[in-house]
Amino acid sequence: MPNHVHNLGLARLSVSSEGTLSTVVDQFSQTPLQLHRPLYLEGASYPTVYIKTPSSGLLGGDEHQIDINVDCGAQLELRTQAATLAYPGRSLLQINLSLADSAKLVFMPHPIILGANSSLCQKVRINLGKDATLNFGDTWCAGRVGTQELWQFTAYEYLLEIFQEDTLAYREQWRIAPAEVPLEHPILCSDYTHFASLYQFGESTHFAKSEDLTDFKTKSFEIEKKWSLTKNGNNIHRRVYKVDQSCQ
C-alpha cells in the first residue's frame, strides 16, 4: 500500500431493480476516476456504465477505489475505455463488488499494463448473494512491448476473494517481483508475458452482449495455453500468451 496517497480516485455505483428495469440509484466519482452516465444499449433493460481514467492509469502514490453495489434482482454491465497503465512508483487499486440475491454483473475491464519501475497492489473483494450471477475478467501484462520494458516493473501484489452467501468460495493471493525472484520456471510465468482470467459464478453465460476482453485480439500475440476450473457450477478460465517475436 502506498506510503503517501497523492490522488484518491473514487468510483461508487449502486443499481436497483424496478420491475424489469434496472436503474442507477447512486453514482459518485472523484478524479482521477470518472463514471460516465448510464447507457441503455440496444434497448437493454439494464444500464451499461463506463469507468474512465483521465490520467490513463495509476501514477505513483495513486489509490483508486471502485465500489459497485447491485441490489436484489438488478443487472449491470460495467466497462472501461482502455487499458490501465501502472506508472513508476507505488500505487493501489481496490475493487469491491457486492451483488445481492439474484443480481447480475458483467465487469471485464481492459488489461492492466505494469510499466517500468511500477509497484502495484491490487485487491479485489466480491460478495455474491443467493443465485447472483458474476462475469468478472482480470487481465494483465508484464509491460509495454513496444518500448521493450517487459518484466521491468518492481512488484505486483494481488489478492482476490470471492464470497457466496457469506462463505469464502475462492481466494487467490500472490506477489511477483521480477528482480527478486526469477520467473522463468514453467510453474511460474515461463516465457509468457500476458495473462487473462475470467471468473464466472452463477449462470455460465453472459447476460450482456459484451466483448470478451480476456482475449488479446491482435496478430502480435498467439494463444499458447488455456485451462479451466469448474466447481459447484462456478467456472474459472485462464489463458496465457507470449509475444510473437516474428511480428515485432
Q: How many distinct structural domains can be found in the chain?
A: 1
Q: Does residue 237 form part of some domain?
A: no
Q: Does residue 219 form part of some domain?
A: no
Which stretches of the chain are assigned E, i.e. beta strand? 7-18, 21-30, 34-35, 48-52, 57-58, 62-70, 75-80, 84-86, 89-99, 104-107, 112-114, 118-128, 133-141, 155-164, 167-176, 194-201, 221-231, 234-243
Residue 169: Cβ-neighbour burial (10 angstroms; 0-12, 13-18, 19+): middle
pLDDT means per 10 residues, the chain with 248 residues, are: 68 95 97 95 96 90 97 97 94 98 96 96 98 95 86 96 97 94 80 91 60 48 79 91 62
Q: Does residue 86 form part of some domain?
A: yes
Q: Does residue 30 form part of some domain?
A: yes
Q: Does residue 83 form part of some domain?
A: yes
Q: Does residue 200 form part of some domain?
A: no
- pLDDT at residue number 203: 75
Q: What single DSSP character describes residue 19?
A: T
The C-alpha atoms of residue 79 and residue 49 are separated, in whole angstroms, by: 6
Q: Does residue 192 form part of some domain?
A: no
pTM listed for this prediction = 0.90
- pLDDT at residue number 183: 83
Structural domain that includes position 64: 7-183
Rounded to 10 degrees, what is the CA torsion of 180, 185, 187, 189? 70
Between strands 221-231 and 234-243, the pairing is antiparallel
Annotate 158-205 with DSSP letters as a single string. EEEEEEETTEEEEEEEEEE-TTTS---STTTTTT--EEEEEEEESSSS
Q: Does residue 196 form part of some domain?
A: no
